[in-house]
């Protein structure tokens, strides 16, 4: 007997990086054991910023390949693309009728977007949390694994659900956030979290050579100008990545850095070797899946079919409750 139903969504950012893996994907994979899981690539949400729409197809595919190679299992979970189950857009419209505009205008991420893209403050951007609510409740999910940045959206989702229940009677589980406990994974610039958009990431699917080259560009302790300068691992970004990939040698690496027994290049090489070693099984699986013609498309079609079976029941119930003839 499973504990409950998980839903989570992620925007189609293309090839995933180790920050995505450590922060989200690994967690998704683990939850498959104890929950009924539904994982979705939210391509409609991506349209709210209208960035690189010509890449949406490719990015979605590459991302799903990474998910599969990392251990998301279509036998255990429903894996699909948001727009393939169009009922979510129907539910978005219906839920928008019970959502006071004031709730949406005060969401911090909305205000940030207004600042970031003043030339494109579209209606869809205001409705972002409503669409997210529709994602979750269309599948009657009760548990939503997300990072801390999504908590305000989850709060709106819960408020919408409560208001719907007040108006039309109990219908959905009140979705609870399940916080990813993983610490922040810094990017190669050592300043911001790892993100494709900051170009400071280490891709899971890169070749070992590319990975090593990339890690060699990382910023380290700025006080360490010369090879003979003593280092400060506690402020070094490369050292922070050793936490994930060289757990056993952490103390040793720190000592060698402080005593200038190893230089930053040596330290990066150690990291690159460990990352490459950790990614061997992932890369093998990815190559194997990529060469199975049509496999990703089949997984997606099957996921959409299973998701649709749930969605159509919910939409029927919602329409009836809202009095639509
Ligand atoms: N807003 C989420 C993000 O940017 C993505 C998302 C869309 C989502 N719908 C969701 C997350 C439903 C959890 C549940 O990361």
Does an H or E element contain 80, and which? strand 77-81
Q: Is 8 in the pocket of ligand 1 (CB under 6 A)?
A: yes
Using the 8-state DSSP alphabet, how is residue 310 labeled?
H
- Nearest atom within ligand 1 for CA of residue 153: 1
Q: What is the DSSP letter of 190?
A: S
Give span(s): CATH 3.40.50.620, the chain.
Answer: 5-185+293-322
- Split at pLDDT 50, 70, 90, the class of 252 is very high
Query: What 3-state DSSP class applies to 178?
Result: strand
Q: Report the alpha-carbon distance of residue 269 to residue 266 in Å, rounded.
A: 5
pTM of the model: 0.94
Q: CA separation (Å) from 135 to 8, 9, 142, 175, 253?
A: 8, 8, 12, 11, 45
For the segment 191-195, the average pLDDT, to the nearest whole number, is 91
**Domain 205-278 CATH superfamily:** Tyrosyl-Transfer RNA Synthetase (1.10.240.10)
* Alpha carbon separation from 302 to 135, 269, 294 (Å, rounded): 18, 42, 12
For a pLDDT cut of 70, what percent of the chain falls above it?
Answer: 99
Per-residue model confidence as pLDDT tens digits over 106-153? 999 999 999 998 999 999 999 999 999 999 999 999 999 998 889 999
CB 204 within 8 A of CB 21: yes
135 lines ligand 1 (CB under 6 A): yes
Paired strand residues for 144: 177
Write down the pLDDT at residue 97.
98
Q: How confident is the model at residue 90 (pLDDT cuts 50, 70, 90)?
A: very high
Question: In terms of Cα–Cα distance, which of 10, 71, 66 is closest to 39?
Answer: 10
DSSP, collapsed to helix, strand or coil, labels residue 294 as coil
* Distance from residue 253's CA to the centre of ligand 1 (Å): 38
48: DSSP letter: T
CA distances from 199 to 92, 162, 276 (A): 33, 40, 19
Residues of the chain with CATH 1.10.240.10: 205-278
Catalytic residues: 113, 193, 196
Percent of the chain past pLDDT 90, that is, above it, reads 90
> Whose CA is closest to atom 9 on ligand 1?
132
* Cα dihedral 123→126→129→134 (10° resolution): -20
- The secondary structure of 115-143 as a DSSP string is HH-GGG--HHHHTHHHHHHHHHHHTT--E
**Two tokens at 144?**
């939503």
Taking alpha carbons only, the member of 245, 248, 223, 244 closest to residue 233 is 223
Answer for the pair 136, 144: CB distance below 8 angstroms, yes or no.
yes
Q: What order of strands is seen across the sheet that includes strand 36-41? A: 77-81, 36-41, 5-10, 143-146, 176-179
Residues 219, 248: contact at Cβ < 8 Å?
Answer: no
Q: Is 106 helix (H, G, I), strand (E, B) or coil?
A: coil
Does domain 5-185+293-322 bear CATH number 3.40.50.620?
Answer: yes
Q: How far is the CA of 255 from the centre of ligand 1 (A)?
A: 41
Is ligand 1 within 6 A of the CB of residue 136?
Answer: yes
Q: Which residue has the higher pLDDT, 79 or 224?
A: 79
Instruction: Kindly compute the dihedral angle of the four CA atoms of residues 27, 32, 35, 37, in this order, to the nearest 10 degrees.
Output: 90
Q: Shortest CA distance to 307 belongs to which of 90, 37, 47, 127? A: 37
Pairing label, strands 5-10, 36-41:
parallel
């Amino acid at each position: 007997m499973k504990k409950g139903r998980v839903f989570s969504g992620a925007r189609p950012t293309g090839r995933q990086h180790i920050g995505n893996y450590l922060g989200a994907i690994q967690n998704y994979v683990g939850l498959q054991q104890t929950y009924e899981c539904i994982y979705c690539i939210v391509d409609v949400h991506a349209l709210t910023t209208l960035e690189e729409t010509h890449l949406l197809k490719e990015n979605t595919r590459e991302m799903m390949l990474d998910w599969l190679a990392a251990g998301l299992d279509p036998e255990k979970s429903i894996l699909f693309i948001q727009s393939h189950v169009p009922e979510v857009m129907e539910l978005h419209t219906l839920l928008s009728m019970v959502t006071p505009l004031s709730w949406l205008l005060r969401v911090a991420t909305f205000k940030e977007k207004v600042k970031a893209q003043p030339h494109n403050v579209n209606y869809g951007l205001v409705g972002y949390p409503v669409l997210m609510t529709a994602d979750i409740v269309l599948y009657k999910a009760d548990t939503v694994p997300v990072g801390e940045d999504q908590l305000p959206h989850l709060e709106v989702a819960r408020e919408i659900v409560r208001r719907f229940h007040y108006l039309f009677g109990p219908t959905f589980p009140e979705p609870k956030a399940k916080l990813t406990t993983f610490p922040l994974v810094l990017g190669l610039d050592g300043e911001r979290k790892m993100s494709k958009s900051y170009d400071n990431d280490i891709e899971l699917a890169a070749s070992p050579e590319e990975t090593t080259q990339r890690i060699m560009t990382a910023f380290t302790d700025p006080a360490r100008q010369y090879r003979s300068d003593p280092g400060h691992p506690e402020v070094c970004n490369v050292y922070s990545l050793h936490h994930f990939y060289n757990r056993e040698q952490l103390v040793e690496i720190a000592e060698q850095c402080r005593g200038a027994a190893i230089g930053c290049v040596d330290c990066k090489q150690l990291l690159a070797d460990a990352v490459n070693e950790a990614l061997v099984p992932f890369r093998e699986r990815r190559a194997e899946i990529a060469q199975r013609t049509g496999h990703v498309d089949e997984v997606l079609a099957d996921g959409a079919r299973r998701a649709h079976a749930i969605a159509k029941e919910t939409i029927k119930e919602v329409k009836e409750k809202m009095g639509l003839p």
